[in-house]
């Protein structure tokens, strides 16, 4: 059955599936809202309002995905990001993360996660499982996800760009 779908289309759907689901929820909600009455119509209006929010979140996640098949594997588990690569690897506790950078000079481009007292963890953007990093990065206090996504898409990516840095006030509290 999967042979009927071209690999390019399958890859496109895999990248944008969350946005497509959001559009589907909105379409179903509008259908119910405009063709039904009573409780189903009210439920339809709720879904029609929820669908664009889901689609927006899906578009951001789709923009974050750069593909897979790169070197290494990323796992996110209980507040820790771990990277297991062919030449390097390590783990960073998210509560101890002080800086997130994007290194465009390395091949392939890498996320650089800094934690005090440890060498920086470099994670290729296209490592297997790197899609899970979007939720991790989006949860960092004060991060600007639009700026992060713009920096990822730049063709003239500079050597290293700081995307997020823990504020000095938060560093003193811990």
Query: Is 93:79 a contact under the CB 8 Å cutoff?
Result: yes
Residue 133: the pLDDT is 87
Residue 28: the pLDDT is 96
Residue appearing with tokens 């895999």: 14
Residue 169: the pLDDT is 53
Q: Which residues pair with 82 in a beta bridge?
A: 75, 91
Return phi, psi of residue 126, to 5°.
-105, 20
Residue 25: the pLDDT is 96
Per-position DSSP letters for 137-152, written without gaps between them = HHTSTT--HHHHHHHH
Q: Calculate helix-pair angle for 39-64, 7-35, nearest 10 degrees.
A: 160
What's the rounded Cα separation, in Å, for the pair 153 and 16? 16
Helix/strand/coil for 75: strand
What's the rounded Cα separation, in Å, for the pair 127 and 81? 13
The pair of structure tokens assigned to 156 is: 């003239």
Q: Calculate helix-pair angle for 39-64, 145-153, nearest 10 degrees.
A: 50
Residue 174: the pLDDT is 39
* Alpha-carbon Rg for the chain in angstroms: 20
What's the rounded Cα separation, in Å, for the pair 143 and 163? 8
- Mean pLDDT, each 10-residue run in order, the chain (174 residues): 76 86 96 94 96 91 74 88 88 90 85 90 87 86 86 73 78 42
Residue 24: the pLDDT is 96
Residue 173: the pLDDT is 37
Residue appearing with tokens 């593909």: 67
Give, for 156, the enclosing helix (H) or strand (E): none
């Amino acid at each position: 059955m999967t042979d009927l779908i071209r690999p390019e289309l399958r890859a496109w759907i895999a990248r944008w599936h969350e946005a497509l689901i959001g559009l589907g929820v909105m379409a179903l909600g509008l259908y119910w809202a405009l063709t039904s009455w009573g409780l189903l119509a009210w439920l339809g209006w709720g879904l029609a309002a929820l669908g664009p929010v889901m689609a927006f979140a899906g578009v951001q996640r789709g923009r974050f995905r750069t593909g897979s098949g790169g070197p290494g594997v990323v796992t996110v588990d209980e507040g820790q990001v771990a990277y297991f690569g062919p030449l390097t690897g390590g783990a960073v506790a998210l509560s101890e993360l002080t800086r997130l950078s994007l290194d465009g000079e390395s091949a392939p481009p890498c996320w650089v996660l800094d934690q005090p007292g440890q060498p920086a963890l470099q994670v290729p953007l296209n490592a297997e499982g790197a899609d899970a990093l979007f939720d991790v990065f989006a949860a960092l206090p004060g991060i600007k996800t639009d700026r992060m996504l713009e920096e990822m898409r730049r063709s003239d990516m500079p050597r290293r760009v700081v995307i997020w840095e823990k504020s000095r006030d938060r560093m003193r509290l811990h």
